Structure 1
């Protein structure tokens, strides 16, 4: 055997694992040659679900805020295929809330499905826009994210 053994596949999560749900619209262009949503689009679904919620809550001003969240880590596990025109929902919860970072857990569900078709995570690190150095996340952001823990 070369290298490390494969890690065990994570347990497939259910809706109960998530605090918030947001709709996700599949698009014709999301399907690949195999007739299902290509893996790269799941990361876009994750990013869109979280940042859409941050925008709606008034916690993200991506044009002017002196403090911004940058994605520094992401991952996804797939359990079953989805395809256009499936109506999806992204479940969001906060798994870890640090001084300058947050780890989101995200599940992609078909509407009314109890188990995630795919699930993953990403980590935002809050940085000073000008220096790109980590800073403490704004208090209002921390409070809102705490509600998703």
Structure 2
């Protein structure tokens, strides 16, 4: 079975640095795989808040995660910080698939890569809702 090579930092458009915590390490001494998913969620939602697209308490539409995935290439461990790169892989009418890379500080090769798909829905009905045009313009920066 062939394994894809990790993408370099240049494959990503926005960045979030996240410090590891002692509790992130598992019994094997490296950051547990479930922590990577929390970092994806944190990086994407922090970018959305900073871009003025996510109002957690009152915003409409809201993004629901419908699919995630991750490939691991190298371990990270406390007390390192991780740089999480964000790019948009696909911008649909009511969905966005983000491409994410987790890098050790100073490394050009991803320690892990993932995808994270949000479907945007009406807050009340939870039915898919087209992305507002002003959102699309901001999100295109990440393409």
**TM-score, scaled to structure 2:** 0.96
State the Cα RMSD in Å: 1.1
Q: Which of 73, 82, 85 does residue 79 from structure 2 map onto? A: 85
* Residue 138 of structure 1: how far off its partner (Å): 1.9
Looking at structure 2, the residues matched to 144 and 47 of structure 1 have their Cα atoms a distance apart, in angstroms, of 19
What runs of 5+ residues in structure 2 fail to find an aligned partner?
none
Kept after mapping to 2: 8 A contact 1:26/1:85:
yes
**TM-score, scaled to structure 1:** 0.92
Structure 1 runs (4+) deviating above 2 angstroms are: 8-11
Q: Does 1:121 align with 2:115?
A: yes
Equivalence map 1:43-58=2 (5 Å) = 43-58=37-52
SS in 1 for 2:76: coil
SS in 2 for 1:147: helix
What runs of 5+ residues in structure 1 fail to find an aligned partner?
1-5
Q: Which of 47, 58, 65 does residue 59 from structure 2 map onto? A: 65
Looking at structure 1, the residues matched to 13 and 60 of structure 2 have their Cα atoms a distance apart, in angstroms, of 28
Kept after mapping to 2: 8 A contact 1:9/1:77:
no
Q: Does 1:105 align with 2:105?
A: no
